[in-house]
Structure 1
Amino acid sequence: MDVADRLRQVDVSEMPTPTAWIVGVHGGSAETTLAHLVDGAVATGHRWPIGTPRAPMAPVVLVARTGMNDLRAAQRAVIEWASGATPVALAGLVLVADAPGRLPRPLTDLAQVIAGGVPRCWRMPWVEDWRMGGEVTADGAPKAAQAILAELHDVLTNPQ
C-alpha cells in the first residue's frame, strides 16, 4: 500500500484513555458526529491513535460514509489495519449512510466485502435532522440508529 494511501498517526500516550477512539477514514466521514454519540469517545482527526506498548489502549472504531470513494478509503484503512501496520484493537467499522434510501448494488457489494475484513460492521441510517443542523444526540436519533449505538456501547464496554 502506498504511504499516501495510509492514515496518519497521532500519539495518544499522554491523553486520558477514552471509551473508544473514533477514526474517520476520510473527510466528512461523520467522525465527530459518532464521537458525540458514543459516551466517552474521542475523535482522532482521521488518524490512527498510537500509544505506548505498556499502556492499555482503548478500542478503535473506524467510520466512513457509504459513497464509492468513501468505501474505498474504508477498504484501504481496513487493509492497513489487517496488515499489522497499526497496532490498535479494532472494535469495528461504522458505515454511515451518505444519502437517504437504499444503497445501489455496487456500493452494497463493496460494503459487504469490507465488512468481512473487520470484527464487526454497523450500518448507520441516514438522519436528515443531523444533516440540517439538528442536535446530535443518541436520544434524538431514530430507533435504528439507537439500536446500533446500544450495540456499539455494549461492544466497547464489554470487550470479549
Structure 2
Amino acid sequence: MEVKSLHLQVQEMRQSLFDEGYLDRQYTQLEALAKDTNPNFIVEVITLYFRDSPDVIASLEHELEREPIEVPMITKCILRLESSSASIGAIKVYKELKKANTFLQAGNIEGTKAALGGIKKQHRELRAKFETYFQLMRHAAGPTEVAVNSS
C-alpha cells in the first residue's frame, strides 16, 4: 500500500509542476524519450541543466556588473540559458529570460538587472522542486539492486 501511495505522490507532484506553471509540454517530450531509451534519461538531462545553468547565470550577473556594459556578451548568456531552459520545459525560467532580453534590447540595463533577480528566483524554485520530485521518485522506486554475497 505504501508503494502505491508513493507512486501517487510522484504523479501528483509531477502534475503540480505543470499546474503551477514551472514546466511545459517540452518536459513531457523529454519523458517520452526517456521511456524509449533510458529510464534515467530525464534525471540525467535535468541534472546536467542544474549543473551547467548556475555558471551561465553567474556569467550573466558578471557581465551586467562590468563597465562598460557589453550587450553582445549579455545577449549570449541570456540566449544560452533561454535555449537550455526551453529544451527542458522550464517555462517560468524561460519567461524571465525573455523579459530580461526584452529589457536588454530596449537598452534598459536596470530592467535587465532587475529581471536577473526573477531568473535566479525561478531557477532556485525549480531546482528545489526537482530535488524533492527526484527524491520522491527514488523513494517510490525502492531498492534497485540486490546485495550479492561475493564469497
Q: What's the TM-score bracket when you normalise by the shorter of the two chains? A: under 0.3
Provide the TM-score with structure 1 as the length reference.
Answer: 0.24
Computing the radius of gyration from Cα coordinates, the structure with the larger value is 2
Provide the TM-score with structure 2 as the length reference.
Answer: 0.25
Greater relative contact order, per chain length (Cα 8 Å cut-off, separation 6+) = 2
More helix by share: 2
